[in-house]
């Protein structure tokens, strides 16, 4: 059983407006992300500190359980709020979030009894398009927060992390676009062009 959590907690400072609600091909971007991942979800949650803005989605909306703790607090909220043992976390600004990636990740996390299934790109780990095992990740994240750690991956040494190879990522997401998050109006236009070509 899989919970999909869409994180809509960022400040969108480079965009100048809430990027989750910015129109992407005529609809709020977050709606596209949700629709892409709905087919694999037994439950969908949106984490946001502005639930009124997202009421139109008719989904469970959860504010930060550990306010003021940045991305790590957001990840804690996502995993703590999930009802199912496996939690797929995706950022609201990833227009090419991939159900194929998460289906492959779910298979691997079970087969290899891992706690985190994550890709590592040239930019580093991709924790906002990754799969987590709730039972083991939650206490590890909580202890990192209690120890006043801020890095979103600071708790990784306490759990079994399975990092995907570049070849595995390519086979799960042949488009190579699933980790692309949009930060500027220019990136929005570029992503819309890509989406139209798919």
For 85-104, what is each residue's pLDDT tens digit? 999 999 999 999 999 999 99
pLDDT of residue 198: 76
The CA distance from 71 to 39, in Å, is 26
DSSP class per residue in 135-187: HHHHHHHHHHHHTT---TTTTGGGS-EEEEPHHHHHHH-TTS-TT----SHHH
pLDDT at 10 over 70: no
Q: Which fold has domain 2-197?
A: Spore Coat Polysaccharide Biosynthesis Protein SpsA; Chain A (3.90.550)
Mean pLDDT of 120-147: 95
Tell me, what's the pLDDT at 123? Answer: 85
Residue 197 has pLDDT above 90, yes or no: no
pTM for the structure as a whole:
0.95
pLDDT at residue 18 tops 90: no
Q: What is the pLDDT of residues 32-84, one digit of tens each?
A: 999 999 999 999 999 999 999 999 999 999 999 999 898 999 999 999 999 99
């Amino acid at each position: 059983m899989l919970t999909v959590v869409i994180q809509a907690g960022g400040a969108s400072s480079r965009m100048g407006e809430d990027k989750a609600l910015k129109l992407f091909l005529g609809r709020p971007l977050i709606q596209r992300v949700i629709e892409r991942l709905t087919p694999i979800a037994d439950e969908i949650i949106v984490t946001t500190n502005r639930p009124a803005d997202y009421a139109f989605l008719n989904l469970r909306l959860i504010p930060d359980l550990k306010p003021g703790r940045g991305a790590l607090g957001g990840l804690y909220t996502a995993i703590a709020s999930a009802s199912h043992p496996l939690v797929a976390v995706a950022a609201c600004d990833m227009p090419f979030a991939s159900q194929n990636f998460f289906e492959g990740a779910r298979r691997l996390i079970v087969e290899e009894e891992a706690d985190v299934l994550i890709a590592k790109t040239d930019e580093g780990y991709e924790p906002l398009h990754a799969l987590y095992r709730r039972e083991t990740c939650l206490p590890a994240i909580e202890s990192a927060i209690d120890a006043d750690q801020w890095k979103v991956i600071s708790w990784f040494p306490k759990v079994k992390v399975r990092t995907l190879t570049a070849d595995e990522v390519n086979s799960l997401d042949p488009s190579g676009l699933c980790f692309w998050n949009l930060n500027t109006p220019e990136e929005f236009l570029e992503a819309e062009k890509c989406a139209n070509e798919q």
